[in-house]
Structure 1
Amino acid sequence: MSDPYETTEEHLERLLGRALNSFDLPDATVERLESALAHSTSLHSSHHSAGLHRETFKHAFLLSDGSSLTLWELAHNASRDGTTQHELYTEEDGVRLAASRLPRPGGTGGSGFPGGDGATGRGAGRGAGRPDRDPDTDLDADLEILATLMAVRPPARRVFVPDNSADHARRVLRRAENADRPGRDTALRLSGAVAHQITQAFGRRCSVEGRDAGFTLYEHAFLLRDGSEVSLWEVEHTATPDGRHMCEVYGTERAAREAMELRARVG
């Protein structure tokens, strides 16, 4: 099912370019794909019902060292505007989990970023949808709830997992779009991370300037070689002019929560 007029380089560029979560792919995987010599694409599964559709594609690449590498692509129209979105995974289990979290006909199924109604495979429950409301009368109530839920939480017990943690830290910092994200010193320190833990600290949908927007706050806690700990606070939201999914990263929880509150007021 590969386009005979498309080179492997062009195919890979198109594949990575359209995937909303391409920044989550491990650096080592992307580097290996740079040596791809040939590729093959096949439809692995397909489901269409009540206006919703999802397809899973298997993209196999032959690399210059004779080895092969497979990417799993999920295409679906579970976004708010019904446009087709694409997500990439390195394991079949990952794409199956992401597909299982997509909404089902009748409103069943998981919900989350990107796109507000889909799932990225990093966690479910990133804000459930709700009926349309009057933005003029509900904005203050939304902001009050947002401020209440952003109260200081008691510290949770850490459960660190060694899983390419230094690479994970690089990817978190790389996808940050805010100018005041942690800089070179933090990146250098996190290059010594040996384990990490991801925790969802906050999730909420609200109206921002008449548009439905979602906010999710994650703490990425890292254990370093010297036994110390460093946290990155990632804000994922759709409070952008075009409803685009955006990631911001901060060095403290307070800075992240202040950024969320500002986004909720300004959009």
Structure 2
Amino acid sequence: MQGKAGLWFRRASGVCLLLGAWQLASLFFPPLVVPPIAQVLSTLVRLMTQSDFGATIGTTILRLIAGLAIGVGVGAVLGLLFGLCPKIEDVGTPLIHVLQAIPPVCWVVLALVWFGFNGKPCVFIVATATVPTVVINLSHGVRSVDPQLLEMARLYQFSRWKMLRHVTLPSIRPYFRSALEIVIGGGWKLAVMGEVLTTNSGIGGAITTARLNIEPDAIIAWSLLLVLGCYLTQRLLRMAFCGKEGVTC
């Protein structure tokens, strides 16, 4: 209990230092450059009480979920295939390297050509950024399965499906969790970036409107909501893996 209290105290101290630096900077710069904390909080309350607030948040969340679902699904299948069959990995590795190397903004431009100015480019760039991370983590996980467990499964004459279900999948769960932690955090940023560049809806569309109206307080308020959304999804992920592989709740 004392360890948890100390951890929360240190985290709270970091937040207080950040807020203090922010408030101090607002004393030396005009509100258009560094808006005061009180102004941002007031704007945040105003945004949350608007009638379209729920729709704005929900639109971004749906695009994020769609992109992650596609990316994680494709990445999980490829990751298992890469780990179980080295020949398939040899063929597919260059493609994964290409997906890793191309900047997200390039995918945005291509997605605009392919899908137009709507929400589809946001889903596309989240998915393309998710696939390599999941593939690499899961393929490493499959290759790291304890050889003794595999040998024992062979001694008991496990079928391939039974070995996959009872040996491989439980063993790669930590690698899958690590991949999800990475892609969920990055997914929020990519989804909103895609909205800023390709559509006028969702959180990204609201940020674009705030930029055009020269409202830095609104931009920061939406950014704080993004931080909150990312934190809550990470907490939900930890709850899903609570008590497994040493994950604390």
* TM-score, length-scaled by structure 1: 0.22
Which one has the bigger strand percentage?
Answer: 1
Q: TM-score, normalised by structure 2?
A: 0.23
Larger Rg belongs to: 2
Q: Which structure carries more relative contact order (alpha carbon 8 Å, separation 6+)?
A: 2
Q: Higher helix fraction: Structure 1 or Structure 2?
A: 2
